Amino acid sequence: MTLRLLLPVFLAAAAFAADGPVSGEISVAAYPSIQAALAANPGKLVFVPAGDHGITEKIRIRGERSGLYGPGRIIQQNPEQPIIEIENAKGIEIRDVTLTRPDDKTETQTEALRAQNCRDLVIENVKVINNRTKSGAILVTDSRTTRISRCLVRNYMKVSIDDRTQGDVSGYAFRCTDGTGIMVRYCQGTLIEGNHVIEETYFPSKESRDKFKLGVFVKKNPQKGPHLSQQAWDAGYTDNWRQGSAIQVTAPETSDFTRLLGNHIENAAQGIDLHCDHVIVSNNIVNHAHIGMKAMHGSRNVLITGNQFSRNDLWAIGLMPGAAAHPAQDGKPANADGGSIIANNLISDFGYGDAHWMWGEERSPFKFDAGQDPDDPPLTEVLIQGNLVHNTGAPRYIYDVLIANEPSGPQGLHFSNNVFPPGTRGVCNQEMKP
């Protein structure tokens, strides 16, 4: 019995040796380039040996059951190109490799790993280092049954411009830090588990704000839009100069059935950002973020359970409609938020993060908001139970729970068995009904 238990472990450890793959497998060392190795071996996994492998064009992967694995480091010298692009493919696997860029070319407009129109894609134990982009360091779009597991995404933010001058809802553009670690769009059945997403360069400090002129408007429309306060418009400055998310799953009414399990997030603007339906958010750690997690724009049936939110400063858990929410219209069903559960989460030292100086104490660990637009259906039917807010110092928040008082505010919030030490004004700005 002992031999049976140890044999799979031994085989896994022997999957590749330091000097090459196991006997009979294919190494890129035998070909002029990684791309040439893939082209010569369709439908097969190709081994990337230890060492640095420089490229100037993206590695293209198509077809079925192909991919890359091994301890090698792939270095993209061209900031205009992604490192790996996977399109129109089934059963592709990318395992164990490191994807990065040279120190003087870390900023880019594109991704490290981009996948589109895939099925049964596996991205496992991949390291994405210093790919700084407004997009996602890892981007998966228009795909089904993708698994992103045990990856490390380190340093994904960049200084950028957030242009909100299109349309009539905002009317301004401003300097910001932006970037997302793992981005999933228009996807169904995605599993995102055991990943580390960490930013180690751009912190929410006064020094960063002043050095890069973050929050300063660079463009204004003739008229202010409704999504901006008059005070910010007149000042030509917004506090909201940290954009992007560690993990984002978006595309309301399309992205569906997503699991985010056991991920570790450090120093994010938004830890987990959801615009999708039928989601499980469980056993994650979000440390030092403006927002621990939020679900909006018609996010329905979201189960948020057993997570740790530490040193968040704006809010830890937020549910709210957004501009993409809408009532039933023209035969199309409503896209409304709600039917969700928030249970057994631990929120510790709220307001003691690096961004407390930006947001002050007029904040709350839980936020249930009204919509952004007048026609947004209200957030409805949310069960909030067994959650704990824990402070090691004096509370740095006004209420544990903040519920919008507007007519379009939340309906059917049900509270039970929570432990909420009062903030500076109490537990909640409204009666919390069971």
Q: Three-state SS for 8?
A: helix
Q: Which of 72-76, 223-227, 288-292, 398-402 has the lowest mean pLDDT?
A: 223-227
Segment among 107-121, 223-237, 277-291, 355-369 with least mean pLDDT: 223-237
The phi and psi torsions of 203 (rounded to 5 degrees) equal: -110, 160
What tens digit of pLDDT does each residue of 243-252 get?
999 999 999 9
Mean pLDDT of 66-95: 98
Which pair of tokens denotes residue 259? 């699991």
In the predicted model, what is the mean pLDDT of residues 408-424? 97
**Are 144 and 188 a contacting pair, CB within 8 Å?**
yes
Beta strands at 158-164 and 172-178: parallel, antiparallel or unpaired? antiparallel
201-213 average pLDDT score:
97
State the average pLDDT over residues 355-370: 96
Evaluate if residue 11 carries a pLDDT over 70: no
pLDDT, greater one: 388 or 331: 388
Q: 5 pLDDT exceeds 50?
A: no
pLDDT at residue 169, as a whole number: 83
- In the three-class reduction of DSSP (H, G, I as helix; E, B as strand; rest coil), residue 42 is classed as coil
Q: Whole-number mean pLDDT of the chain?
A: 93
pLDDT at 20: 54
Residue 268 clears pLDDT 60, i.e. is over it: yes
- pLDDT band of residue 373 (cuts 50, 70, 90) is confident
Asked which of 13-22, 68-77, 157-166 is least confident by mean pLDDT, the reply is 13-22
State mean pLDDT over 122-131: 98
Tokens 């196991």, residue located: 22
Reduce the DSSP state of residue 2 to 3 states and report it. Answer: helix
Closest CA to 401 of 359, 351, 376, 364: 364
Residue type, 244: G
CA of residue 151 relative to chain centroid, distance: 13
Q: Report which of 88, 47, 40, 50 is spatially closest to residue 67, judged by C-alpha positions.
A: 47
Which pLDDT tens digit goes with each residue over 137-195?
Answer: 999 999 999 999 999 999 999 999 999 999 888 999 999 999 999 999 999 999 999 99
Report, in this order, helix, strand and coil percent for the chain, each rounded to 5: 10, 45, 45
pLDDT at res. 374: 84
pLDDT digits 0-9 by tens, 286-338: 999 999 999 999 999 999 999 999 999 999 999 999 889 999 988 889 999 99
- pLDDT value, residue 22: 58
pLDDT of residue 159: 97
pLDDT class of 25 with cuts at 50, 70, 90: confident
pTM of the model: 0.93
- pLDDT confidence tier of residue 23, bands split at 50, 70 and 90: low
pLDDT at residue 10, rounded to an integer:
39
